[in-house]
Every structure is written in structure tokens, then in C-alpha cells.
């Protein structure tokens, strides 16, 4: 039933586990916003998530990256960025 790719499913699980969200990873909409109104994540979540992403995929996020708001805008965008930049 999920339209999530395998990587998106893994990242959804990482997000839910890292941030202890009370949602089923598979129900996260790939295009829905993660921060602000979507899952309601804040900057501490962003920091925690960045650590988990760096440890899991070897990709160090940077908020001065001109595309950071795009990268964090949705699960799909995050998965695309990880796909492009992962080192493990």
C-alpha cells in the first residue's frame, strides 16, 4: 500500500525511531512537509536527525547549503539528497 521507495522507507523508520514519533513510518506521506505544520518537527529534531543521517549514511547536512530548506521539505526530498550524497 505504500508508495515509498525502499530508501524512503528506511529513512521514514530512522525519523520515527530517532524522534520517537507516534506515527507508523509507512504512513508518512513522501511529499508532505516534515517540519512546521507537517510532523511538527523543530530545530532540535533537525539536529538529532542530522546526526542519525550522518551516522547511517555518512552524509553531513549543512544549513548553509542553499538547498537545505528543500532537502528538509519532505521525506522524498530528503531521500533524494541522501541518495546523492551518501558515503555509506
Partner 1 sequence: MHDTPLIGPYNPDDVLAWEQDGPRTARQFLSDVTRLAELLPNRPTVLNLATSRYEFLVGFAAAILRRQLTLLPQSRAPQTLCRIAGDYPDSYGLTDREETIEGIESVSIQPRGGLAPWPDEIPRVPLNQVVAIAFTSGSTGQPMPNKKTWGALTAVAHATGSRLGIKGGERAVVVATVPHQHMFGLEASVMLPIMHGLVMHAGRPLFPADIRSALVDVTGQRILVTTPLHLHACVTEGVRVPPVALILSATAPLSRALAQEAERHFQAEVHEIFGFAEAGSVAERRTIDGDSWRPLDGVRVVQDQTSWMVHAEYLPAPVPVPDRITVDARGMFVVHGRGADQINIAGHRVSLGDLNQKLLGIDGVHDGVFFLPEEGTDLVTRLMAFVVAPGKTSEEIQRALRTHIDPVFLPRPLVCVPSLPRNATGKLPRESVSELARQWLAGQRHGA
33 binds partner 1 (CB under 8 A): no
Output 64 or 87, the one with its CB closest to partner 1: 64
Among 21, 29, 33, 38, binds partner 1 (CB under 8 A): 21
d(CA 55, CA 45): 15
Which grid cell sits at 25? 513510518
The yes or no reply on residue 86 touching partner 1 (CB under 8 A) is no
Does 69 contact partner 1 by CB under 8 A?
Answer: no
Question: What 8-state DSSP symbol labels residue 39?
Answer: S
Distances (CA, A) of 46 to 81, 84, 85: 15, 19, 18
> Which residues would be at the binding site for partner 1 (CB under 8 A)?
19-22, 40, 42-44, 46-48, 50-51, 54-55, 60-64
Amino acid at each position: 500500500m505504500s508508495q515509498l521507495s525502499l530508501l524512503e522507507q528506511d529513512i521514514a523508520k530512522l525519523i520515527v525511531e530517532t524522534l520517537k514519533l507516534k506515527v507508523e513510518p509507512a504512513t508518512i506521506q513522501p511529499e508532505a512537509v516534515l517540519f512546521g505544520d507537517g510532523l511538527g518537527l523543530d530545530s532540535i529534531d533537525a539536529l538529532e536527525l542530522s546526526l542519525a543521517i550522518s551516522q547511517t549514511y555518512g552524509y553531513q547536512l549543512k544549513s548553509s547549503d542553499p538547498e537545505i530548506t528543500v532537502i528538509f521539505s519532505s521525506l522524498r526530498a530528503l531521500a533524494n539528497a541522501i541518495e546523492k550524497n551518501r558515503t555509506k
